Amino acid sequence: MKEVAKNVYQIALFPRNGINCYVIDDILVDAGIRSSANKILNAIKHSDITKHVLTHAHPDHQGASSIVCTKRNIPLLTSEIEKEHAESGKVIYDYPNHRHLIAKFQQRYWAGSGHKVSHLLREGDEVGSFTVIETPGHSKGHISLFREKDGVLIVGDTLVNMNLLTTIPGLHEPPGLFTTDRIENRKSIHKLFNLKPKILCFGHGPVLYDKGEFEQFMATL
């Protein structure tokens, strides 16, 4: 685990930060793909984790959720809209085209089994020292997490910080192939920008200690 800010740690699950999850306070946020389970369990073995939160129930975020929750005996928390997918384990059906070959591949090889959601999160709820920000668009019930006092933002997939084909770092909107409503997601990007975050933690790509990059990106939207 790599320390990002006070009580915020990144677990890089893929090379070049291709897929990340995070520990904030005593909470695991997101859980990679199914085969990430051992890596996550190993990373958190000395941590006193008490819950697991999903930014959204896509196969590269909920893949290991059920295994980790079961092994560590911790509850799973999602937004109300993501609950259905997190519980059923059917996690690609909000993609614009769930019949796409890549979507089918993800459902088959990345997605984890469903897991009971114990508690629902909504705008303004407190998750450790963070606050829930509803950021729909990439998925219908997507949430981000923000800590105002030092500007740490768990972005989820509202924005990504790498080109997912070349892996070169840089801010991008998430791929259309996996984004339910791009217009709605763009509104959510504006919502996050207005929070003036200082440290941005992405599902995909390295952490951004913002020195104006977010503002530059907004000018291109």
Residues that bind Zn ion (CB under 5 A): 58, 157
Cα–Cα distance, 17 to 14 (Å, whole number): 6
Q: Pick the closer one to Zn ion by CB: 42 or 106.
A: 106
CB-nearer residue toward Zn ion: 159 or 207: 159
CB 58, min distance to Zn ion, A: 4
Nearest CB to Zn ion, comparing residues 173 and 210: 173
Using CA atoms, how far apart are residues 152 and 4, in angstroms rounded to an integer? Answer: 9
CB 139 to Zn ion: min, Å = 6
Q: Which residues contact 176 (CB under 8 A, 6 or more apart)?
A: 96, 182
Q: Biggest alpha carbon distance in the chain?
A: 45
Least separation in angstroms between CB 48 and Zn ion: 28
Q: State the Cα–Cα distance between residues 155 and 197, nearest whole angstrom.
A: 10
**Distance set, CA 132 to CA 35, 77, 147, 149, 197 (Å):** 28, 12, 9, 14, 14
Using the minimum distance from each CB to Zn ion, give the nearer residue, 157 or 210: 157
Q: Which residue number is nearest to Zn ion in terms of Cβ?
A: 58
- Shortest distance (Å) from residue 59 CB to Zn ion: 8
